[in-house]
Chain A
Amino acid sequence: MSRERLIHGVVASAGAAVGTAVRAFDPLFISFDYKIRPDQTGQEVQRFRASVEQSREQLKRMQAQLKRRSGAESSFLIDAHLLILQDRLFVDRIVSKIEADYINAEWAIQQISDELFRAYDRLDDEYLRERRGDLEDIVRRLLHNISSKKTAGPKKIPYDAILVGKAIPPSTLFELRAQRVVGLVTETGSPLSHTAIMARSLEIPAVMGAQDLSGISSGELIIVDGNRGIVICSPSDETLVEYKSRSKDEKKSKKRPLQASSPSVTEDNVRIMLGANINFSEEVASVVAHGCESIGLYRTEFDFFREGGQPDEESLVADYSLVLKSARGAPVTFRTIDVGIDQKAWDGVNTNLGVRGLRFCLENRDIFKRQLRALYRSSVHGPMRILLPFVSTVDELEAAHEILAEVREELAGRREPHNPSLHIGVMIETPAAASTCDIMAPLVDFFCLGTNDLIQYYLVVDRSDRTVMHLYNPFHPAILRCLHQVYTLLQPTGKPMTVCGEMAADPPSAAVLLGLGFTSLSVSLAAYPKIKRMIHSVSMSRLRGLAGDILKMHKPQEVEEKVRKALAMAPARY
């Protein structure tokens, strides 16, 4: 029973943690478990039954609507849901679980559905296995209906929670950060998903793409090792001791000051600009406390959609002003929202080739204008730059400029104080922008290179698809040539360029960027110290030589080995 078991995934955020598994069924919901007194079971069963009843009513309503719209044919799916709600294998067992174990309804639902999920997974028939989706939907609905009745008090999760789920959205991770989530494991997602980015910025170890997590139940002690990309279930005593001592060491090294305030200069005295990337306004304070010189990328979409709805202009002005004030004079680059309005596009399945970034903003002008008005109005509180994401044509850029001009006129008309000469930049993250950046240059004050997307589009590798993830490689000669081309095209224009993708956050690939001529990088706070150390330890003239050499090489592997050798870095363990 207590045999140690390994589940393999990919590294999404470094570090290791020992903790209590908390199953997150749904992006939107994390259940909480507590014991009840024997005399409370009746009331608890009532709570559960009420949520069953409410769910049934909702489904019946949906079914009626469906029948009206598309006939009886499609409504049978809801029949299956309704039948689960009256299935004694489900309902009766949950009730007896509450009564026998004295636990809250959510916990009982979770345990019984975990058992049923395992039964689904054991089925030979692939089609039937897929039907577990029906049960997932039901469970989600029940938990939602239970929680929306405010009988349960605040969400409570264990002090050392490791979130385990199919997918966990960045917003959930962020909401729970104050409750000391110590780790994260998901079946979907990749190191480049927004949740992974969030985990890194919160310094929470994470493993993603872990196959078959259904064997892990809430309350179980597990280890997530974000350095090796594994999850350890039922760890042996030796393993536990090893990991516990290791996580103590890691905590110690985190407490060591970053010394970010000393300038980033290479061994041969070349000054490198090193900024910090943030996703949430709350992070500004720690960026400043660490002495980072600028915020090279503030991804505003996380805050924008944080509440699930859309903020009004006044609350945006308040947020952005606060960001600038807390930055205390450090320049902040605000990237306008880069996401479709469809929140489902955030993790895993995403419409990477669809309406994103500036495309989205141009189609939803009222949202775009609201954000721009808020940005301009806040601009009096500190140095600000505006960055436009996902640009692929000069037309889009011109359209954006028209809107920017309209916003400025509007504010001038209203006599709103603002800085009319904010620098406007473009994100180079599409192959189109990479090869035409010189054509865009006259319309742009600065450029940022988003290497995550650029690599994905250049190499035609969906970064959330497990089957091709290994082909995603910043050392691919095509990427080196692309970056070299961008540098060569932009250098004569004198427009500043910053690299803010993950490529800048890993020492070997960051060294390649320096060698190719990019002297301004922006990375997450978690990567800041190691990149700073790398900068201090390298000589720019040697890196330039290295860049010349690797540009002639044929294979990603050769390039990476050459770079690691030059930096005297051991090859990655994973």
Chain B
Amino acid sequence: MRQREVVIGHRLGLHARVAAKLVQLSTKFKSNIVLFRTEETGAVEADARSILSILFLSAGHGSKLGVRAEGEDEQQALDSICDYLAAD
């Protein structure tokens, strides 16, 4: 299991288009990928393969998210998801 923190780079935050691409990206990996809010108490988590749960995270531009990947390709998954989220 690996995890890292990223700052959302997209101007509109995790809106529909970004969320959709994120789901498509996540499904390419075998690992389970979870996004979670790091700033608040009470862990709000989202499955990176569920567009609804990503939207309900309501992560705007500049907000910090934790990304956790677990599985055989966890390192690549983590890198590529974090790169995508941090890009603007």
Contact = CB atoms under 8 A, between A and B. Distances in A.
Contact of A79 (B20, B47, B56): B20
Interface in A29-88: 76-77, 79-80, 83-84, 87-88
Interface stretch (B9-17, B33-41, B71-79, B80-88): B9-17
Nearest to A90: B52
Interface stretch (A98-106, A119-127, A327-335, A356-364): A119-127
A553 B13 CA distance: 56
Interface residues of B, number: 19
B17 to A, nearest CB: 5
Nearest to B52: A89
A127 B19 CA distance: 13
A136 interface: no
B50 A76 contact: no
A89 B47 contact: yes
B65 interface: no
A87 B20 contact: no
A383 B19 CA distance: 64
B60 to A, nearest CB: 6
Contact of A131 (B47, B50, B55, B60): B55
B56 A80 contact: no
Contacts of B20: 76, 79-80, 83
B3 interface: no
A89 B58 contact: no
Contact of A83 (B15, B23, B56, B58): B23
| Interface residue SS majority, chain A | helix
B8 interface: no
| Interface residue SS majority, chain B | helix
Interface string B51-63: 1110110101000
Interface residues of A, number: 21
For B20, B23, B49, which residue has the most chain A Cβ atoms within 10 angstroms?
Answer: B20
A125 B58 contact: yes
Contacts, number: 52
For A80, A83, A88, A127, which residue has the most chain B Cβ atoms within 10 angstroms?
Answer: A83
Given A89-B47, A116-B52, A79 B13 contact: no
B51 A87 contact: yes
A76 B23 CA distance: 12
Interface string A416-441: 00000000000000000000000000
Contacts of A125: 13, 58, 60
A131 B56 CA distance: 11
Given A76-B16, A80-B17, 18 more contacts: A76-B17, A79-B20, A80-B16, A80-B19, A83-B23, A83-B51, A87-B49, A88-B49, A89-B52, A123-B58, A125-B13, A125-B58, A125-B60, A128-B55, A128-B58, A131-B16, A131-B55, A135-B52
28 contacts: A76-B16, A76-B17, A76-B20, A77-B16, A79-B24, A80-B17, A80-B19, A80-B20, A80-B51, A83-B23, A83-B24, A84-B51, A84-B52, A87-B49, A88-B47, A89-B47, A89-B50, A90-B52, A119-B52, A119-B56, A123-B58, A125-B60, A127-B15, A128-B15, A128-B55, A131-B15, A134-B16, A135-B52
The 3 closest A-B pairs by CB, nearest first: A83-B51, A89-B52, A79-B20
Interface of A: 76-77, 79-80, 83-84, 87-90, 116, 119-120, 123-125, 127-128, 131, 134-135
Interface of B: 12-13, 15-17, 19-20, 23-24, 47, 49-53, 55-56, 58, 60
